[in-house]
Amino acid sequence: MRLTRRLTDSDDDRAAMVRFLLRRTVHAIVLIWIISMVVFGLFFLAPGDVARRMAGRQATPETVALIRHRLGLDQPIWQQYGNFVWRVLHGDLGYDYYHQIPVSQIIIDALPKTLSLVLGAAVLWMALGLFNGIVSARRPRSLTDRSLTLFSLIFYSMPEFLLGLLLLYFAYYRLTLAGAAWFPAGGYVPLSQDPLAWAQSLVLPWLTLALLEAAAYTRLTRSSLLDVLGEDYIRTARAKGLSERRVVHRHGLRSALTPIVTRFGVDLGTLLGGVVVVELVFSIDGLGWEALIALNNQDLPVIVGIVLFGTLAVVIANLVVDLLYAVLDPRIRLAERRDARPRSVSVQPSRPQR
């Protein structure tokens, strides 16, 4: 009987998990569809000649007419939007007539640089933020806690360009004058070309982005872990004689990770769309660099392509966060199952009349 009940509960949990994933996936698809309509309306239904803006300032009338024909701007609006979605679904983000190359090729060339910057910095800021937050939560209102709080406030309020310039001045300029040329002034070396030079060129950008983000994650980890450590099951675990390290890391940290994972997914998806300031300071021609150049040149196809890619990155990151929710906190799956389960109506038996 118990084995049958366990199998039934396991099947119910699995079904609730599938429903949870399907619901989140449908929400993500609907969100992408709505954003595609917004992007289409902003860029293709705006006042003025769209073909002229996409062709660039120095385009000839023949080029403008060719773009207008390729985009189907002489067709009804619903047909234009259908063609736009069809091209995007097939990886056709348009053609950069200003540089005579496809927009997808620009994104493919710039994406490895932005990925290298963001993912490397993400590992650093997560490790630093979690470590500092756990230390602060285990020793609240101590000297260590106040020191880490000061660290968080300093870097949280510091602009990106200022920290990047300070690192360039001390780690590159001053060390180079002292005869220790350990870090380059900027630029990007591909990983396939020289792994050591690749890491060396990204150390200062990694530190810039990681120190700024780790400040917020330190405070978030501390506050979330302090809330969890005050729960009843934590006091029960301590009463059973478990070590403080095991109580914090095995029982408390897993529940405290939910808001941290939420912020991490949003930050990672947003930064994958381009780290404009950091890429500009360290001369890394990633997606943020390309977006800035496209804005200055009014290069509409590149702007549309990068906006759509950034949107997709944010939506996928949030979908992954939802999946991690179900792994970190089983109560989410149970809540989904309870919502899907029909509610029973209890009928009280009437008293017999005397």
In-domain check, residue 21: no
Does the residue 282 lie in any domain?
yes
Mean pLDDT by 10 residues, the chain (354 residues): 52 69 83 84 67 67 75 73 82 76 89 92 92 88 88 86 89 84 84 88 92 90 86 79 77 81 85 84 89 82 85 84 70 49 41 40
Q: What is the pLDDT of residue 181?
A: 78
Contact yes or no for 270/314 (Cβ under 8 A): yes
Domain that holds residue 223: 109-324
CB proximity list for 349: less than 8 A, separation 6 or greater:
none
Model pLDDT for residues 155-174, shown as the tens digit of each residue: 888 888 889 899 988 888 88
State the residue for tokens 């991490």. Answer: 264
Please indicate, yes or no, if residue 336 is contained in any of the structural domains: no
Q: Which amino acid is residue 286, in one-letter code?
A: G
> What is the distance between the alpha carbons of residues 315 and 322, in angstroms, rounded to a whole number?
11
Q: How far apart are the first and last CA of the chain?
A: 43
pLDDT score at 354: 37
pLDDT at 350: 40
Domain-located, residue 25: no
What pLDDT does residue 153 have? 86
Across the strands, what pairs with 95?
A: 102
Kindly report the CATH number assigned to the domain that includes residue 159: 1.10.3720.10
Total of domains in the chain:
1
Cβ–Cβ < 8 Å for 97, 54 = yes
Question: How far apart, in whole angstroms, are the C-alpha atoms of residue 285 and residue 298?
Answer: 18
The answer to whether residue 48 is domain-embedded is no
